[in-house]
Amino acid sequence: MDEYQRSLSRPLLTIMSINIEGLSLAKEELLAKMSEDISCDILCIQETHRDITMRRPTILGMQLAVERPHRQYGSAIFVRSGVAISATSLTEVNNIEILSVELDSCTVSSLYKPPGADFYFTPPTSCHNHEAHFVVGDFNSHSCVWGYDEDDRNGEAVLTWADNSRMSLLHDSKLPPSFNSGRWKRGYNPDLIFVKESISHQCTKRVLNPIPNTQHRPICCVAYAAVRPKSVPFRRRYNFNKANWTKFTETLEAAISDIEPSIENYDLFVEAVKRSSRLSIPRGCRTSYLPGLNEESLNQLQEYLRLFQENPYSDGTIAAGQKLSTALANAKKDHWIELLENLDMSKSSRKAWQLLRRLDSDPLVNPGHTNVTPDQIAHQLIQNGKTNCSRIKMKINRVPELETHQLSSPLNLKELREAIKRCKTGKAPGLDDLMMEQIKHLGAKAENWLLKFYNQCLAHKQIPRAWRKTKIIAILKPGKDASNARNYRPISLLCHLYKVYERMLLNRLGPVIKPKLIAQQAGFRPGKNCTGQILHLTEHIEEGYEKGCITGTVFVDLTAAYDTVQHRKMLHEVYHITRDFDFTKTVQTLLENRSFYVEFQGQKSRWRRQKNGLPQGSVLAPTLFNIFTNDQPQPPLTKSFIYADDLGLTTQAKDFETVEKQLTNALKDLSSYYKENHLKPHPAKTQVCAFHLRNREANRKLKVTWEGQELEHCFHPKYLGVTLDRTLTYRKHCMNTKHKVAARNNILRKLTGSAWGADPQVIRTSALALSFSTAEYACPVWHKSALAKQVDIALNETCRIITGCLKPTPVDKLYKLAGTAPPDVRREVAANSERKKVEHCESHPLHGYHPPPTRLKSRKGFMRTTTPLDVPPAAARVSLWAAKPGNSNWMAPQEGLPPGANQEWATWKSLNRLRSGVGRSKDNSARWHYLEESSTLCDCGAEQTTQHMYACPQCPASCTEEELFKATDNAVAVARFWSKTI
């Protein structure tokens, strides 16, 4: 490893903080061992519960720097032996304990706020190194920003202090909570870490293992250099960005000219592709490197290293680090934007967090070794597919006069190219190690070779051996016990050429079966989606309200539905729906004789035979499952809402007893169907719910039995990601969505602290992909809910992050500066756009539906409150935005950032604060009680207001408000001058 790699890879400073809830000898020993394990430099302890009459705390290997003795509270800071301290400080106003130590290069403060005290931060008096300041401790404050359900006044005070002090919160919602309440049986995050904005991108947070006899877990802040080498395991990889694709195509076509297109020669073709790739595509591995480093930025790296060795947190070092980070930022920025464009982040932000850590070269936390073996996981996957019934012996009864050969006719070049075009790049290869990037660059001869090969597979009903073998990567499900083999999700890696073959078959199969699938099935079908299916269910419930009925609903859970599909029954259904015997035999070829192995923790299981089920990751699998379940019954007096293997079964009646009887009888019918088809229902996870407006019976539970077991009554069932409730207020769903958006806002905050992500356009694009997409998931269902404003609170914070504006900024100005229509406008347009689909798309579940006559004026169902959109959504948003009541003429509404978005992040924030008139001018700081001095006069002698900053004599330039909106050169100069003040 090079010298710079050794210098930049090591942590600069490691700080650990813990509310110890009483410091005993045993806890001191545990803290000493933990500090040694993580090479802790600074240890901050809160609630030592030791007054001046008791023994002083002692941590082996560390020295006590500063302490506040107190029997009820008490705090202490320890530093590692050999760490030089230049000053210490202690304040205890209102029992808010703030202990600080100043090192040569930074200041570390430990804070403890008792639960009953009002938050106020008293700056350390004898510590002057404020540009590299760390504040850790137990803040005992609530905010959605760090995972609480609601904000309290202390949480708002903490955020205001952090904003005015230019401190950034280090918080990752994917980390475990730092406090596990024994009383409430829930996890919270009262223990926080704040660092100065200028160095926040250099710091990471960790939550360490719990300590006995305290509900708090230690939290750790690790500070690194401004840039860090990226470390990866040794494995040679192709660099497709530097590939000579012309040479690749020519070499491959010459290599396959003597290879006959046949199933037996598939391995020769694969080897020819690999050989051509080795000659045309750079291939290697650097286990440690700086992404984006080139000759131009190498000089900046050397200058940063020189300053870094002198003082890692000096102003010059921080400035040089920011300059170097900016030079390396372009490659990371492109990678991030590519992720946002290719992934749906509305349901999970895990991949965004993972990429963010990789781009910042954060060392990924090792999940730790578990005793579960790959063979145990493989055995569990086999068990998932087993049923208690004997194997189905079902013979296909052919009807030759009704048969067609439409699906089994030879494939053509157009179908091949369309299938390749629709396949995504960047996916892991199967056992043949061919990447999709290589397949997409095949020449005409190679395409013709593949076409003949695929047609041989189709004609002879055979496929290569490699296509029948699957490598499975086992990944632990979030929040599950790692010691249980059932808690691992299998990720199958199939050969890409096999996926292309399946894609061609699917493109043929889709139009043939579309009119033959049952209307209740909405999963993986063109023209149908989750939002439409949820609307179908909720409109049915609204219809029950209008009729004065109770709508009883069973949300059926199936165990490993795809794994229990019986192949013989599947083939019977495929033939029945397609009437193409040759195609049915082709499907049989794809399903039979499949085997797999599991890879986990660097080990492999033995090969296992897969007798039942559909291949996970298969392109055809969802459609085949729809065919398999196409004959499921519709029990009398019920209605089914099906999305793949998710079933909502409803019935309506005037009384609870009738509802219970009808649902119980319906489930008996379903039991017979599931038994015949070897599907495994899971009554223990199946839930029931009653939707009605009878408030006197709000707590009445449905008593429905299934297979001798009474089903759980759930007052807040979740269907396709939307949490429902008895009266469809969507209260819990809106609160859950608010918390999800708040968690994704933390990703945006981390972006603003990185050199590559602190770009206005990148932040806005990220906000739309992460926060707004989450906030608007299925919003046509709940857009008229009175609780939708709860989601707006989190989105307001999203826009503050985009613009850099402060919290007192008026909301209407926020959205104009962010170039994004307000949430209520976006939801209304989305709902009207969905209504247009209802009117014009025959496949939509609500197409042709007419609601019953209105009886309840208070109900605001989808069909009654929407009108089909007759203009493009973007134009509709701007039009509604402009016509919104209370809309000021301060700035014309437009979707897109205003002028100045091409400036650096600090200037962009300053520009927006000047535009909005809400900045850290002295008069505002005095109004917010954050002015340390008594005078509100500017250095020039005039009253310092935001408007005064436009033309202050101290500033080398001046501008008008109109110039600020246009971001003229003068306005940019003014904003840049005040960027460290405002």
Q: Give the pLDDT confidence of 459-477 residue by residue, as tens digits.
A: 999 999 999 999 999 988 8
Please enumerate in sequence order all residues whose Cβ is within 8 A of that of 82, keeping only pairs 6 or more positions apart, or say none.
none
- Residue 347, sorted as left (phi over 0), alpha (psi -120 to 50) or beta, turns out to be alpha
Please enumerate in sequence order all residues whose Cβ is within 8 A of that of 365, keeping only pairs 6 or more positions apart, or say none.
206
pLDDT of 335 over the 80 cut:
no
DSSP 8-state class, residue 202: G
CA–CA gap between residue 801 and residue 742 (Å, rounded) = 11
Q: Which amino acid is at 616?
A: Q
pLDDT of 16 over the 80 cut:
yes
State residue 215's pLDDT score: 92
Q: Give the pLDDT confidence of 918-951 residue by residue, as tens digits.
A: 998 888 888 877 776 778 889 888 999 999 999 9
Q: 941: buried, middle or exposed (CB in 10 Å: 19+, 13-18, 0-12)?
A: exposed
Beta bridge partners of 597: 471
Both tokens of 371, joined, read: 């005793």
Strand, coil or helix: 241: helix
Beta bridge partners of 595: 469, 609
pLDDT of 327 over the 50 cut:
yes
Could you tell me which residue, 652 or 752, shows the higher pLDDT?
A: 652
Q: Give the pLDDT confidence of 180-235 residue by residue, as tens digits.
A: 887 778 889 999 999 998 888 888 999 998 988 899 999 999 998 877 776 666 67
CA–CA gap between residue 578 and residue 442 (Å, rounded) = 33
CB 916 within 8 A of CB 888: no
* Closest alpha carbon to 463 in 340, 590, 550: 590
Count of C-beta atoms within a 10 Å radius of residue 910: 27
pLDDT of 813 over the 70 cut:
yes
CB 13 within 8 A of CB 205: no
Angle in degrees, 0-180, between the axes of helices 823-840 and 530-546, rounded to the nearest 10: 90
State residue 363's pLDDT score: 47
* Closest alpha carbon to 378 in 603, 678, 614: 603
pLDDT of 4 over the 50 cut:
no
Q: Give the pLDDT confidence of 733-751 residue by residue, as tens digits.
A: 999 999 989 988 888 887 7
State residue 507's pLDDT score: 94
Beta bridge partners of 237: 284
CB 898 within 8 A of CB 891: yes
Strand, coil or helix: 381: helix
Greatest alpha-carbon span in the chain: 100
CB 811 within 8 A of CB 805: no
- Residue 548, sorted as left (phi over 0), alpha (psi -120 to 50) or beta, turns out to be left
CA dihedral (348, 909, 161, 35) in degrees, to 10, reads: 60
> Pairing mode, if any, of strands 219-223 and 203-207?
antiparallel
Torsions phi, psi of 241, nearest 5?
Answer: -70, -25
Q: Which amino acid is at 639?
A: K
CB 42 within 8 A of CB 13: yes
Torsions phi, psi of 216, nearest 5?
Answer: -90, 150
* Closest alpha carbon to 312 in 85, 43, 10: 10
CA–CA gap between residue 821 and residue 740 (Å, rounded) = 20
> Pairing mode, if any, of strands 107-112 and 133-138?
parallel
Domains annotated for the chain, with CATH where assigned, are: 13-223 (3.60.10.10), 237-284 (no CATH), 298-360 (no CATH), 374-517+570-611 (no CATH), 731-856+869-883 (no CATH), 905-980 (no CATH)
Helix segments in 206-244, DSSP class H = none
State mean pLDDT over 440-468: 95
Where are the extended beta strands (E) located within 126-216?
133-138, 167-169, 179-180, 187-188, 191-196, 203-207
Model confidence band, residue 2 (pLDDT cutoffs 50, 70, 90) = very low
CA–CA gap between residue 302 and residue 714 (Å, rounded) = 62
Q: What is the Cβ-side half-sphere exposure of residue 943, based on CA atoms within 13 angstroms?
A: 5
Please enumerate in sequence order all residues whose Cβ is within 8 A of that of 473, keeping only pairs 6 or more positions apart, or say none.
490, 491, 493, 598, 599, 600
Q: Give the pLDDT confidence of 947-974 residue by residue, as tens digits.
A: 999 999 999 999 999 999 999 999 999 9
State mean pLDDT over 225-254: 84
Please enumerate in sequence order all residues whose Cβ is within 8 A of that of 501, keeping only pairs 6 or more positions apart, or say none.
419, 454, 457, 463, 467
- 385-394, 769-778, 811-820, 942-951: which range is least confident on average? 385-394
The whole-angstrom distance between residue 938's C-alpha and the CA centroid of its chain comes to 45
Both tokens of 19, joined, read: 């509310």
Both tokens of 466, joined, read: 């490699």
What is the total residue count of the chain? Answer: 982
CA–CA gap between residue 611 and residue 594 (Å, rounded) = 7
DSSP 8-state class, residue 768: I
CB 691 within 8 A of CB 724: yes
State residue 303's pLDDT score: 83
CB 351 within 8 A of CB 769: no
Model confidence band, residue 612 (pLDDT cutoffs 50, 70, 90) = confident
CA–CA gap between residue 51 and residue 66 (Å, rounded) = 14
State mean pLDDT over 236-251: 90
State residue 127's pLDDT score: 64
Could you tell me which residue, 479 or 22, shows the higher pLDDT?
A: 22
> Pairing mode, if any, of strands 705-706 and 709-710?
antiparallel
* Average pLDDT over all residues of the chain: 88
Q: What is the pTM of this model?
A: 0.85
- 24-28, 331-335, 852-856, 869-873: which range is least confident on average? 331-335
Model confidence band, residue 601 (pLDDT cutoffs 50, 70, 90) = confident
Strand, coil or helix: 819: coil
- 296-305, 456-465, 578-587: which range is least confident on average? 296-305
Both tokens of 928, joined, read: 């917010």
State residue 969's pLDDT score: 94
Q: Give the pLDDT confidence of 40-93 residue by residue, as tens digits.
A: 999 999 999 999 999 999 999 999 999 999 999 999 999 998 888 989 999 998
CA–CA gap between residue 791 and residue 778 (Å, rounded) = 13
State mean pLDDT over 24-29: 93
Where are the extended beta strands (E) located within 427-558?
469-476, 488-493, 550-556
Q: 118: buried, middle or exposed (CB in 10 Å: 19+, 13-18, 0-12)?
A: exposed
- 593-602, 610-619, 799-808, 815-824: which range is least confident on average? 610-619
Please enumerate in sequence order all residues whose Cβ is within 8 A of that of 223, keeping only pairs 6 or more positions apart, or say none.
11, 12, 13, 14, 15, 134, 195, 199, 202, 203
Beta bridge partners of 379: none
Please enumerate in sequence order all residues whose Cβ is within 8 A of that of 725, keeping only pairs 6 or more positions apart, or say none.
715, 716, 731, 732
Both tokens of 604, joined, read: 């492999």
* Closest alpha carbon to 172 in 202, 206, 198: 206
* Closest alpha carbon to 664 in 726, 706, 712, 725: 706
198 to each of 165, 403, 905, how far by Cα in Å? 12, 72, 12
